[in-house]
A and B are shown apart, each in its own frame.
Chain A
Amino acid sequence: MNFSLSKEHEMLRELYRSFTVQEVKPLAEEIDEEERFPVETVEKLARYGFMGIPFPKELGGSGAGNLAYAMAVEELSKACGTTGVIVSAHTSLCAAPIYEFGTEAQKLKYLPPLAKGEKIGAFGLTEANAGTDASAQQTKAVLQGDHYVLNGSKIFITNAGHADTYIVMAMTDKAAGTRGISAFIVERGFPGFSIGKKEKKMGIRGSSTCELIFENCIVPKENLLGKEGQGFKIAMKTLDGGRIGIAAQALGIAQGAIDETVKYVKERKQFNRPISAFQNTQFELAGMQTKVDAARLLVYRAATLKEAGASYATEAAMAKLYASEVAMEVTTKAVQLHGGYGYTREYGIERMMRDAKITEIYEGTSEVQKMVISSAMLK
């Protein structure tokens, strides 16, 4: 069992870190305040190959694998949870299902622009009445000759306002239950497809979270992803992979919070000494870092298993479950250790706490993760 990173991974981490410090960190506060999607950062991420990290070079990717991808999301999230989720949702929830389930024609058409970051991806499963109960799909798709007609809507879709390519789930055969759901590749310009209201959120406020509205939306037959009725399975497998990205995001947020706190407690003086001299501070930090290290190992394990082609769904669920809980706990303590300053928006630490919360909810709530894990145990 090798716990050290290869030379490539170490150099990748250095790239991720310098990029994050110089390009991402300076904008983090502003995009949160203004609820602004960082278009300029995404262009730079694209230029340096961050938008297609695990995909092969022949398809426009960087050919670096899943561990390298998870590490990228982690490092970006240390400074900005929003930037981390933009990359994660784009890569795991849109590009990945096309790579894993697409026909050669679909892969050749859609993957290179996504992997090169020329186009941004999103994933539309959740509906007003279908959250944790994802199978309760009400969006319908009816085959009419050479195209499907989609009607319905999706909510809480990450990257929606800025994406070009969307993986959308819709019911093609209501009687068949989950086996009646199909997946489609929908392009922004398709007639009858529009973006609806943008959500105002507690955290990751720069992330574009919107409704998708389908009113007799025309989707060419060739854009069916996989077979009819395979959509639910595709969605679930896609979320398995997406969990690694979100776990990495939570991990990054947690570590970022610890790093800021360590700096702060060395500088802040009360009772004539830096507060890092107090045992309470020391013990809290020790506990926080230990949990984050444990989360890191779970995330890296899941990513490595996926990269090796082994089964990884349970491990990914564990990583997401644990990392998100740790992120919430660690960021809350981090605010506490900052005292009054931690509650002000002048310090980025309150933003990290607000950003952390969503990681326990999206791409499968913590409760769903527990369902996945226990069901594997009790098979």
Chain B
Amino acid sequence: MEIQNYSDVMVFVEQREGHVQKVSLELISKGREIADELGARLKAAVLTAGLTHPVHSLIELGCDEVILVEHPILEPYTTEPYTKALTEVIRAHKPEIVLFGATTIGRDLAPRVSSRLDTGLTADCTKLEVDLESRNLLMTRPAFGGNIMATIICPNHRPQMSTVRPGVMQMAEPVIGRIGVCRNFEIAFSPEDQHVEVLEVVKASKKKVNIEDATILISGGRGIGSPEAFPILESLADKLGGTVSASRAAVDAGWIDRNHQVGQTGKTVRPDLYIACGISGAIQHLAGMEESEFIVAINKDEGAPIFDAADLSIVGDVHKIIPELIRILPELGNRNAQ
């Protein structure tokens, strides 16, 4: 592996049923930045059975070249056809960097490809920088269960491969009319390239019912005023992919069922995000949630004890703040590109 023979940045553009995933657009934007710093080109590798997304928009976001592999075997996603195709594309183009979205597809494909190419792969990068002297990509990611950060390099192997989670990188503004090329890349697939048999494809959303497993909890207390306020909390929870929970006061008042109760006589939870709405923060409640990673508390009462445990305290009215938060939430983005 002669490192100097490798140049340019490549993004694996993930698509599902022809729809390009938003994370790939975010990575194209980041890839463009990296390519500019390196004085290199940016290429997109698209593997699909038929793309509905216009290729030129990938160019407008910053790709100099779109490499298109089109074949029916590529839908739905299975490991071997994708690995075979992408490996051939990489061997032909010799990029110095390849970026993947850290999705349920990316995290299946990238390790297989990196192993086939005998090169390094760094997962879930939150920051990508270039060390111009060495042309090494500096890949920063959480380690030790997220308790520390580590900056990783792949100094002696190419391509340097990296996966990045959706929502970490920013999507850039497209440059309308930007020039680039799109080339078809032929892969000689045969039925032997399919190592598994997909029997059924099912679309279903995962419903989280167990508050102890939830990573995001929107919790309601006596201060939300009435049971009618819970649907608003549910709506927020839905949009964030979280679950609704409650304080003992709300449960005792019959506003919500006991399964949702957090606290001394309820459940102990430690989600990544706990938004306490109208919860005063009595010691029995704190005992059940104070280990949460990030606590936001909203309460009308400035002296509410919950504020002592919260990372972000908002003195205000839940009924006004939550709907407003729901309104501006789309800024966090969803998975499929528009």
Question: Which residues in A have some Cβ–Cβ distance to B below 8 Å?
Answer: 29, 263, 267-268, 341, 346-347
Contacts and interface: CB of A to CB of B under 8 A. Distances in A.
Nearest to A29: B265
Interface stretch (B216-224, B281-289, B321-329): B281-289
Interface string B278-309: 00000110110010000000000000000000
A347 B264 contact: yes
A267 B265 contact: no
A263 B287 contact: yes
A346 B287 contact: no
A346 B264 contact: yes
A267 B268 CA distance: 15
Nearest to A268: B283
A346 B283 contact: no
Contacts of B264: 346-347
Nearest to A26: B267
Interface residues of B, number: 7
A267 B287 CA distance: 8
Nearest to B263: A346
Interface in B114-149: none
12 contacts: A29-B265, A263-B287, A267-B283, A267-B286, A267-B287, A267-B290, A268-B283, A341-B283, A346-B264, A346-B265, A346-B284, A347-B264
Contacts of A29: 265
A267 B264 CA distance: 12
- What DSSP secondary structure best describes chain B's contact surface? helix
Interface in B262-281: 264-265
A341 B284 CA distance: 10
A29 B265 CA distance: 9
B154 to A, nearest CB: 39
Contacts of B284: 346
Contacts of A346: 264-265, 284
A347 B248 CA distance: 13
Contacts of A347: 264
Nearest to B287: A267
A187 B253 CA distance: 49
B248 to A, nearest CB: 9
A263 B287 CA distance: 9
Contacts of B283: 267-268, 341
Given A263-B287, A267-B283, 10 more contacts: A29-B265, A267-B286, A267-B287, A267-B290, A268-B283, A341-B283, A346-B264, A346-B265, A346-B284, A347-B264
Nearest to B308: A269
B250 to A, nearest CB: 16
Contacts of A263: 287
In the complex, the 4 A-B pairs of residues with the closest C-beta atoms, listed nearest first: A346-B265, A267-B283, A268-B283, A267-B287
Contacts of A268: 283
Nearest to B267: A26
A48 B84 CA distance: 48
Contacts of B287: 263, 267
A347 B284 CA distance: 9
A346 B249 CA distance: 13
A263 B290 CA distance: 13
A18 to B, nearest CB: 15
B147 to A, nearest CB: 22
A267 B308 CA distance: 12
A341 B286 CA distance: 15
A79 to B, nearest CB: 14
A291 B287 CA distance: 28
B99 to A, nearest CB: 41
A58 B256 CA distance: 52
Contacts of B290: 267
Nearest to A347: B264
A44 B283 CA distance: 33
A268 B286 CA distance: 10
A367 to B, nearest CB: 38
Most buried by A among B283, B286, B290: B283
Most buried by B among A267, A341, A347: A267
Nearest to B248: A346
A150 B264 CA distance: 50
Nearest to B290: A267
Interface string B248-264: 00000000000000001
A29 B286 CA distance: 20
A92 to B, nearest CB: 33
Contacts of A267: 283, 286-287, 290
Contacts of B286: 267
A341 to B, nearest CB: 8
A347 B265 CA distance: 8
A156 to B, nearest CB: 31
A9 B146 CA distance: 33
A347 B287 CA distance: 12
A150 B284 CA distance: 54
A266 to B, nearest CB: 10
Nearest to A345: B265
A267 B283 CA distance: 7
B255 to A, nearest CB: 19
A29 B284 CA distance: 16
A29 B258 CA distance: 15
A268 B284 CA distance: 10
A354 to B, nearest CB: 18
A263 B291 CA distance: 13
A29 B290 CA distance: 23
B284 to A, nearest CB: 7
A341 B287 CA distance: 14
A101 to B, nearest CB: 46
A342 to B, nearest CB: 12
A281 to B, nearest CB: 16
B303 to A, nearest CB: 14
A277 to B, nearest CB: 16
B258 to A, nearest CB: 12
B260 to A, nearest CB: 16
